Structure 1
Amino acid sequence: MFARRVKPLRDTTPKPLPGTGQLALDLQQQAAGWRYEAFATNSPAAGPREDAGEVAACLDGRHRVHARVEDHFKEGNTTGADRLPSQSFATNTTWYRTHAIACDLIAWLQLLACDGHQARAEPATLQYQVFHTPATLTRGGRQRRLNFPAHWPWTHHIQAIFTRLLAIPAPT
């Protein structure tokens, strides 16, 4: 059994987002600013010639990598992997390829055009803030314009994304 003390990832004083399942810190943890994580393993203990600290660090690192894998599964389900499997192999193949393309496009968008919190945001956050933006496409003066609503809180972030993408030179 391992227990470690970690800084909370998010400030829990504002009300948590619906559906995120955040656990509020108890009063003692809020005062200290820490929370505690515990995990159990059935891996063998350190042998007589092994350093117990090194074995513990190795097990802790293995657990942290597994937690990152769980995050990738969660992000995959957000982008459409939760709709698999289907009755048809062809449908599964098509959906898997579409899902892979969507994941790649999101990763490249974050790498090339996003900054700040959106560069590290999960796909669900990008979906809400960027992809589902209510906008209108208008034409006039031989140009097309994408008009964003003034009340949308992420309009300036989306405009910055478009500015960065349009600044990328065309391939030669």
Structure 2
Amino acid sequence: MAWLAQRGRWLSYSVGMTITEQIHQAILKVPVTAWTAVIEPGGEIRDGAWVAELSGDCLEGWPKGMRLIVRKERPHPGTQLRITDADGLRLTCFATNTTVMPIAALELRHRQRARAEDRIRAARATGLRNLPLHDTAQNRIWLEVVQLALDLLAWMPMLALTGETRRWEPRRLRFRLRSAATQIVTTARRRYLRFARHWPWTGVITDALARLEALPNLG
């Protein structure tokens, strides 16, 4: 946090915080009127969830300009509460230095960062669970290759896919899109890639290729 807030960096951050005893006591003192309803990406109110900003002694010792945002929500049925929860509500907390957004919008932005954890999980499935080679230099090359693959996994769905298909996991993408049977056909001195009509996701593949072809050439 101190590194992020150093003078001249001009970085905006949103970092999850552990709820210490001091922070927990500060949360318990937040008045009812200070809690704001949590919002969803479409602007609608999320039922059973609220957010508030902490101040006072719990900010001492932290970088200047840091804001501490806490969220409370009714847990899902069967969820086991933690010792830091209160009144039957799940408590989470994060820090940010963004000042131009209301706390409900800041909480939504931070919650949407969960896709970062999804990328980490995809990285492990793609090849970062174990380093397969013995030499350090070889493993560095392996990491570079895996990172290139992760970049493709991140950008391809954003540029070529729509709707639910954008959220497909790497294993599902590999089976449905990259395992399709194809045939290279040459006609009129041009080569075409013909996909099997019976493959359930042929339409998804051809639509994705058309979107990629329509992108402007930035080379």
Shared fold (TM-score, shorter chain, > 0.5): yes
Distance apart, 1:68 and its partner CA: 5.3
Q: Helix, strand or coil: the match of 1:161?
A: helix
Pair 1:60 & 2:66 matched: no
Identity of aligned residues (%): 31
Q: Helix, strand or coil: the match of 1:57?
A: strand
Give, in whole Å, the separation in 2 of the partners of 1:94 and 1:163: 33
Give, in whole Å, the separation in 1 of the partners of 2:113 and 2:216: 39
Which of 171, 183, 198 aligns to 1:124? It is: 171
- Could you list the runs of 5+ residues in structure 2 that have no partner in the other structure? 1-17, 36-51, 55-69, 73-90, 95-110
Distance apart, 1:127 and its partner CA: 1.2
Are 2:128 and 2:143, in contact at CA under 8 Å, matched by a contact in 1? yes
Bigger Cα Rg: 2
Residue in structure 2 matched with residue 151 of structure 1 by the alignment: 198
Give, in whole Å, the separation in 2 of the partners of 1:114 and 1:133: 16
Letter in 2 for 1:135: T
- How many residues end up aligned between the 2 structures? 132
Distance apart, 1:60 and its partner CA: 2.0
Give, in whole Å, the separation in 2 of the partners of 1:83 and 1:48: 41
- Greater displacement, 65-74 / 110-119: 65-74
Distance apart, 1:66 and its partner CA: 9.2
Give, in whole Å, the separation in 2 of the partners of 1:57 and 1:163: 43
Are 2:161 and 2:208, in contact at CA under 8 Å, matched by a contact in 1? yes
How high is the TM-score relative to the length of structure 1?
A: 0.63
Letter in 2 for 1:165: L
Are 2:177 and 2:201, in contact at CA under 8 Å, matched by a contact in 1? yes
Distance apart, 1:138 and its partner CA: 2.4
Distance apart, 1:98 and its partner CA: 0.7
Letter in 2 for 1:57: R
Pair 1:78 & 2:57 matched: no
Residue in structure 1 matched with residue 106 of structure 2 by the alignment: none
Residue in structure 2 matched with residue 29 of structure 1 by the alignment: none
C-alpha spacing 1:153/1:78, structure 2 compared with 1 (3 Å) = same
Question: What do you get for the CA RMSD once the two structures are aligned?
Answer: 3.1
Which structure has greater strand proportion?
2
Deviation string 1:76-115 (CA, Å, 9 cap, x unpaired) is 1122212425311122111111111111112221111111
- Could you list the runs of 5+ residues in structure 1 that have no partner in the other structure? 1-40
- Greater displacement, 113-122 / 48-57: 48-57
Which of 43, 47, 57 aligns to 2:20? It is: 43
